[in-house]
């Protein structure tokens, strides 16, 4: 028995387009990945499809998203696969909502706000799950699922937040669950949605987050896809399949002293991007920050950042590139230079003072307060200080680029 586990499809939700040429592809990406899930099921003869929530991005999804899911469900039904959906915080089960009025189908179970178990007697399985009843579910739903009857292998399908699981930034703690409880419970598999990074939190039983099969923006990096599980007697194997048509990468390179020429930079970026092989066509979007002292500063600073980005994008074969070189500077020792009695030395010394001096930073913060973006204004004080220090870093690079007479003769700092 093969099982497909995919979550957080966010059908109808946005996918960022870091490049204008990507608009059509980004708009299509979530539908494309759903088609791939169906095609994968066909190729690998999947008998059971588990979709633990946030299938839709919103409780009242747009027509295109509804049609896409109906088409996929029809295809799964046609190949004889049973489908289980456990709605999450983005697409909670609401009376009068999209799930309550979803057309019934023999092979389809949409879990509602009451915990439920479904017996698949032919396969000796028990599939249990339940839906979020609001967009801020606060109960630990994992404790409410009916355990498998004796002799049945239990599969739990749930959208839940495990606080201890690695995640990008903060996650809303909806339907909080405790890993230890899942590990010691009666189910052989926990098929989980909510956290967008695919991960395995336990082997016996298997505790799996599917992750999202398509990242929403440059912050959702790494392989995105679905788990293909195989149930053989009591043993459950798991294989992760990358499926996303658009893969996002985020790279900070700040140790560029050793890179002597642009080809070396391209090779380094290629090496660090680490794109896993996918059986499907994949485009790559990269956010690249180049920072710190580098002998490349001259060749990269000769043209506009847009021109440099265009050349790198072409060379790297990327679909999109967001390039930040604001903190790139000449291969000079800023600390040594700050002792020099010239304009550059004095400027660098002042910056170093401001960076180390909380009062000076506070004054700078006050000075900038009115012109700060609302996002920056909302940051907690600690993070706002870190952000300001980042600005000083960029300013130092700017000063070095503008005032350093480097790359030649009497350069005492090189």
The residues that touch Mn ion, with contacts defined as CB under 5 A, are: 54, 88-89, 194
- Measured from the CB atom, the residue of 193 and 242 that comes closer to Mn ion is 193
What stretches of 254-357 show up as alpha helix (H) in DSSP?
262-273, 297-301, 305-316, 334-337, 343-356
Smallest separation, CB 54 to Mn ion (Å): 4
Smallest separation, CB 195 to Mn ion (Å): 8
- Measured from the CB atom, the residue of 50 and 81 that comes closer to Mn ion is 50
- Rounded Cα–Cα distance for residues 22 and 319 (Å): 7
Smallest separation, CB 79 to Mn ion (Å): 28
* Ordered strands of the 320-329 beta sheet: 246-253, 283-293, 320-329
- Measured from the CB atom, the residue of 19 and 54 that comes closer to Mn ion is 54
Q: 241: exposed, middle or buried (C-beta count within 10 Å: 0-12, 13-18, 19+)?
A: buried
Q: At a CB cut-off of 8 Å and minimum separation 6, what does 413 contact?
A: 332, 333, 336, 337, 406
- Measured from the CB atom, the residue of 82 and 194 that comes closer to Mn ion is 194
- Measured from the CB atom, the residue of 210 and 308 that comes closer to Mn ion is 210
Q: CB atoms < 10 A from the CB of 71, how many?
A: 14
Q: Phi, psi (5° rounding) for residue 309?
A: -60, -40
Smallest separation, CB 175 to Mn ion (Å): 9
- Measured from the CB atom, the residue of 54 and 393 that comes closer to Mn ion is 54
- Rounded Cα–Cα distance for residues 361 and 351 (Å): 10
Give the H or E element holding residue 68: helix 63-78
Strands 176-177 and 283-293: unpaired
Both tokens of 210, joined, read 């599917």
- Measured from the CB atom, the residue of 88 and 245 that comes closer to Mn ion is 88
With beta carbons less than 8 A apart as the criterion, state whether 16 and 217 touch.
yes
- Measured from the CB atom, the residue of 55 and 319 that comes closer to Mn ion is 55
- Measured from the CB atom, the residue of 175 and 231 that comes closer to Mn ion is 175
Smallest separation, CB 161 to Mn ion (Å): 8
- Rounded Cα–Cα distance for residues 411 and 392 (Å): 24
Both tokens of 255, joined, read 């140790």
Smallest separation, CB 93 to Mn ion (Å): 14
- Measured from the CB atom, the residue of 227 and 297 that comes closer to Mn ion is 227
Could you identify the residue written with the tokens 């405790």? 178
Q: What are the DSSP calls for 154-200, one per residue?
A: EEEEEE-EETTS--SS-----SEE-HHHHHHSS-SEEEEES-SS-EE
Smallest separation, CB 90 to Mn ion (Å): 5
Smallest separation, CB 156 to Mn ion (Å): 17
Smallest separation, CB 394 to Mn ion (Å): 35
What stretches of 185-296 show up as alpha helix (H) in DSSP?
262-273
Smallest separation, CB 89 to Mn ion (Å): 5
Strand partners, 120: 125
């Amino acid at each position: 028995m093969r099982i497909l586990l995919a979550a957080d499809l966010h059908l109808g939700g946005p996918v960022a387009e870091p490049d204008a040429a990507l608009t059509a592809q980004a708009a299509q990406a979530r539908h494309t990945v759903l088609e791939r899930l169906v095609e994968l099921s066909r190729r690998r003869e999947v008998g059971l499809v588990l979709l633990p929530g946030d299938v839709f991005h919103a409780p009242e999804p747009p027509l295109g998203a509804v049609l896409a899911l109906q088409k996929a469900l029809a295809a799964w039904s046609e190949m004889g696969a049973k489908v289980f959906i456990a709605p999450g915080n983005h697409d909670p089960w609401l009376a009068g909502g999209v799930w309550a009025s979803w057309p019934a189908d023999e092979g389809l179970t949409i879990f509602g706000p009451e915990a439920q178990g479904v017996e698949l007697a032919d396969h000796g399985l028990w599939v249990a799950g339940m839906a979020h009843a609001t967009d801020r579910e606060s109960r630990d739903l994992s404790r409410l699922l009916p355990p498998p009857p004796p002799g049945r292998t239990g599969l739990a399908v749930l959208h839940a937040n495990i606080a201890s699981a690695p995640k990008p930034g903060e996650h809303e703690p909806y339907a909080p669950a405790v890993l230890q409880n899942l590990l010691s419970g009666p189910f052989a598999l926990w098929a989980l949605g909510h956290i967008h990074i695919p991960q395995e939190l336990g082997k016996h039983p298997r505790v799996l987050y599917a992750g999202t099969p398509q990242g929403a923006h440059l912050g959702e990096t790494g392989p995105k896809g679905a788990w293909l599980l195989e149930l053989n007697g009591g043993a459950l194997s798991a294989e992760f399949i990358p499926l996303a048509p658009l893969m996002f990468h985020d790279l900070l390179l700040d140790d560029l002293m050793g890179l002597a020429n642009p080809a070396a930079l391209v090779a380094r970026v290629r090496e660090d991007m680490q794109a896993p092989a996918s059986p499907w066509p994949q485009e790559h979007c990269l956010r690249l920050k180049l920072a710190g002292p580098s002998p490349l500063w001259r060749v990269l600073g000769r043209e506009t950042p847009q021109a440099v980005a265009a050349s790198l994008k072409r060379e790297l074969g990327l679909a999109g590139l967001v390039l930040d070189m604001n903190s790139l500077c000449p291969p000079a020792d800023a600390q040594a230079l700050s002792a020099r009695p010239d304009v550059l030395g004095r400027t660098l010394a002042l910056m170093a003072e401001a960076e180390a001096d909380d009062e000076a930073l506070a004054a700078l913060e006050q000075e900038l307060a009115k012109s700060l973006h609302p996002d920056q204004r909302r940051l907690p004080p600690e993070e706002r200080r870190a952000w300001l220090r980042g600005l000083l870093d960029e300013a130092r690079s700017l000063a070095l680029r503008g005032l350093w007479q480097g790359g030649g003769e009497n350069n005492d700092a090189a």
